[in-house]
Structure 1
Amino acid sequence: MQESSSHHSRFTSRRRPEKTVTPSSSVKPALRTKAIPSQVEALPRLQKVLASAGLGSRRNCETLITTGRVEVDRRVITELGTRVDPHKQEVRIDGERLPDPKRVVYMLHKPVGVVTTNFDPSGRPRVFDLVPVDHRLFAIGRLDRMSEGLILLTNDGDLANHLAHPRYGVEKRYMVQVAGVPTPEILDRLRRGIDLAEGVAHARRVDLRSSHKLSSVLEMVLDEGKNREIRRMLAHLGHKVHQLKRVAVGSLSLGSLLPGQWRPLTWQEIESLRASSGPVDSKLAQRSSRPQVVRRPRENRGATRPFTRETTSSGRTPTPRTGTGRSSQRRVSKKPGKASSWRKPRSTS
């Protein structure tokens, strides 16, 4: 028994004392498996990722999310504001994986006779047929078929919303050839606003550039994009539009680009377009400072408006075309400059 106790004492004496670890700045904490909140907040929202991929405006992309058509890592997402990492997470729309196209913006000089819609049942030439690229594009704003000039095509939904929405106030400049010579009172009416069916249409600036007895050329600057807005404003005042050409959008001008020609925008031009809109609050303040239009009573509206229906040389009112004849299948010339019909006012001297 004594030998056993002495052996136990020798064993216990050889045990090393336990070391006490004191906190030190050199000791590194274990890596966290979950994302840091600040890193999550730095990720883009899901609707922004969809808009950047060319799926439409941010509002349209929000509709895709709320209707359950979007999946992230095979899980349906219906909550707006969800942040994702498009480089590490898999995003699908209607079961198809979201492509990651490079953001592109093209400037096109739209010729007369070309439409800006994605699909035309009459088979008329479209602006997208003039820009043979592999990207899925959509137009920023519109120009009617008989107008020409600068139009932007892109797959960037955020930029499209930034340039097309009236609340951002991006200026568009037009050269307009009209019948007759508008008086200073007519120009003032254009600046104060014209009462159209969907609201009051304003021209931010109007200048008379040249005039003759039969026609004149106006330079008009607008920050809105109502359907055929300029033509309807001038028709309301008794001046038919012969030709209409958009020459600038924001800081971007058409320059020497001929009808049918196009080119990609540089990164500097795209950033300049974003900056040309300015703060939203200042734009709204400018609009609120404009003179209010005095509207006539409903029963008297249209009493003094001039009759502006188009007639042919024989005096007959032309019938609308159905788009089934050979004229609706007319192709626009691909040679630059051949599709434009812009004319200078004719002199009567």
Structure 2
Amino acid sequence: MSPPPPRHGLARVLSKQGLCSRSEAAKWIAAGRVAVDGRVVRDPEFPIVQGRQRIAVDGQAIEAAQRLYLMLNKPRGLVTTAQDERGRDTVYRCFDGAQLDGSPLPWLAPVGRLDKASEGLLLFSNDPQWAAAITDPERGPDKTYHVQVDAIPDAALLAALHAGVAEDGELLRAKSATLLRAGERNAWLEIVLDEGRNRQIRRLLAAFDLEVLRLVRVAIGALALGDLAKGQWRRLDPQDLQRLR
């Protein structure tokens, strides 16, 4: 006998369809906006076997959203979240009034994060499985950053950044760290990460008494930021998606 089809919670199913985040789906469900087989359900963990039950939101049967993949050149000063409890501007400001093929953009979530002071390449999608593959710490693509620091690192220091340092039980290290160019008092480094830890580059450099002046993500895998202007976005084409694989 074949195994029974998997069951998932209702909120997760709505999220996997690319309609909204799981937390937003839970709000829809709690508000009585979601029905399963004609009956309003208020439990976000209500078990669903996809394809066997009819799900409607506000009386309309749901359909999986067309999968969409975007890249944004994130400006400094924006936080990577849909809503900020402190009222700060978020990355979604860059999509105000945005349309694609004459229609408003669907719900999109950031794929990974860049902190408020960081800039550069940030991906967005309504495809949770694809996003999980990109952010997977073991199998996801490398991330490349250009980082301006307040000193001129020598070869020994660059080697130490690659070897790494233990902080609060974590090993912080760069897959590679190279000197791009140097001035009299500061320098630009290219740092490649093959894992994603919270504020990893800033913490790593701080451990060696280096202050980050600017931090720009310039590539994810073989997908480069290129000449995309600050605050601008574009849709990823099939070649872009292949570069991310």
After TM superposition, the score normalised by the length of structure 1 is: 0.56
- 1:84 and 2:50 are equivalent in the alignment: yes
User: What does residue range 179-218 of structure 1 map to in structure 2 within 5 Å?
Assistant: 179-197=150-168, 199-218=170-189
Tell me the alpha carbon deviations over residues 198-253 of structure 1, each in whole angstroms, 9 at most, x when there is no partner.
Answer: 61122111111112330111001002222221111111101111111000011211
What is the deviation of 1:110?
A: 0.4
After TM superposition, the score normalised by the length of structure 2 is: 0.77
Residue segments in structure 2 that go unaligned for 5+ positions in a row: 27-31, 99-103
Report the 3-state secondary structure (helix = DSSP H, G, I; strand = E; otherwise coil) of the residue aligned with 1:151: strand
Q: Which has the larger radius of gyration?
A: 1
The corresponding residue for 1:109 is 73
Q: Read off the aligned partner of 2:131 and give its amino acid letter.
A: A
Residue segments in structure 1 that go unaligned for 5+ positions in a row: 1-36, 64-68, 276-349
From 107, 126, 143, the equivalent of 1:136 is: 107
- 1:237 and 2:208 are equivalent in the alignment: yes
Report the 3-state secondary structure (helix = DSSP H, G, I; strand = E; otherwise coil) of the residue aligned with 1:190: helix
Query: 1:78–1:108: structure 2 CA closer, same or farther, 3 Å change rule?
Result: closer
Determine the C-alpha separation between the residues in 2 that align with 1:114 and 1:201.
Answer: 25
- Give me the identity figure in percent: 37
Runs of 4+ residues deviating >6 angstroms: 75-80, 93-96
Query: 1:51–1:271: structure 2 CA closer, same or farther, 3 Å change rule?
Result: farther
Q: RMSD in angstroms over aligned alpha carbons?
A: 3.4
Query: 1:78–1:150: structure 2 CA closer, same or farther, 3 Å change rule?
Result: closer
- 1:123 and 2:87 are equivalent in the alignment: yes
The corresponding residue for 2:235 is 264
Q: Read off the aligned partner of 1:204 and give its amino acid letter.
A: K
What is the deviation of 1:134?
A: 3.3
The corresponding residue for 1:163 is 134
The corresponding residue for 1:152 is 123
Tell me the alpha carbon deviations over residues 256-281 of structure 1, each in whole angstroms, 9 at most, x when there is no partner.
Answer: 101011011123423442x2xxxxxx
The corresponding residue for 1:308 is none
Tell me the alpha carbon deviations over residues 11-38 of structure 1, each in whole angstroms, 9 at most, x when there is no partner.
Answer: xxxxxxxxxxxxxxxxxxxxxxxxxx77
Determine if contact 1:143/1:151 at 8 Å carries over to the other structure: yes
Tell me the alpha carbon deviations over residues 153-180 of structure 1, each in whole angstroms, 9 at most, x when there is no partner.
Answer: 1111111111112122420000011111
Q: Read off the aligned partner of 1:52 and give its amino acid letter.
A: K
- 1:251 and 2:222 are equivalent in the alignment: yes
Determine if contact 1:176/1:218 at 8 Å carries over to the other structure: yes
Determine if contact 2:141/2:220 at 8 Å carries over to the other structure: yes
Aligned residues: 226
